[in-house]
Amino acid sequence: MASSEEPPLPDPEPPPFRWTERRVARLASVVTSAAVVAADVVLFVVYQQNVSAFVPPWRTVVPIAILAILLFAVTRLRRQIRLFREDR
């Protein structure tokens, strides 16, 4: 017995890439967010090299703060890249 279901339609083609004012602003946000992520990674590496100079309570507070900022910055970077690609 033949199935009466039709095959799924192919995904529509995305609109062509255009540089809009919104995309330029998103690109600036992407570059800034990427710089924050890179600076945070460098800061963590420098902290790891100089961990012995910190007094005991700060040995745990500083890396937690650096990693919290890194988590926020990476999340923001991913969101900005997605919005840039979708032009929203």
- In tens, the pLDDT along 2-61 reads 556 777 777 777 778 888 899 999 999 999 999 999 999 999 999 999 999 888 899 999
Classify burial at 52, counting beta carbons within 10 Å of its beta carbon; exposed 0-12, middle 13-18, buried 19 or more: exposed
Q: What does the alpha-carbon distance between residue 56 and residue 18 come to, in Å, rounded to a whole number? A: 53
For residue 7, the model assigns a pLDDT of: 74
Instruction: For residue 36, give every residue at least 6 positions away whose Cβ sits within 8 Å of its Cβ, in sequence order, or none.
Output: 69, 73, 76, 77
CB atoms within 10 A of CB 61: 11
pLDDT at 3: 58
Domain boundaries, the chain: 21-86
Give the residue-averaged pLDDT of 62-69: 95
**Token pair for residue 25?**
């602003």
